[in-house]
Amino acid sequence: NAGVMQNPRHLVRRRGQEARLRCSPMKGHSHVYWYRQLPEEGLKFMVYLQKENIIDESGMPKERFSAEFPKEGPSILRIQQVVRGDSAAYFCASSPPNGGNTIYFGEGSWLTVV
């Protein structure tokens, strides 16, 4: 997973606040994926983005969650008005422009909502 950079690693928010998680893909990678890991669960796919485009957001909750991957800068996963159930580890992954089926994960961002 070397090269996929996520920050912050740990984030504490009060209920109702906003959380912003950032992900810089590996050098040369233009595809970004976000996954969520709830306690005692496996990872669940949330969204797949390419530069300036959301390709598949079938795993994103309908409300409060959004993601972007601008032309310049990192991908952002934004959670508005956080609730306790949003407490989880959020993992970003990236893959190169030619696709392929191996994606590389970052070290994750642990969100705690108090």
Closest to another protein by CB, 44 or 78: 44
The minimum distance between CB 78 and another protein, in angstroms, equals 20
Q: Which residues bind another protein (CB under 8 A)?
A: 1, 6, 31, 33, 35, 40-45, 48, 55-56, 91, 95, 99-108
Give the C-alpha separation, 79 to 16, whole Å: 10
3 state SS of 86: helix
Which among 12, 21, 47 is positioned nearest to 32, based on CA atoms?
47
Closest to another protein by CB, 29 or 64: 29
The minimum distance between CB 107 and another protein, in angstroms, equals 4
The minimum distance between CB 51 and another protein, in angstroms, equals 14
Closest to another protein by CB, 14 or 101: 101
Give the C-alpha separation, 66 to 52, whole Å: 13
- CB contact at 8 A, 57 and 47: yes
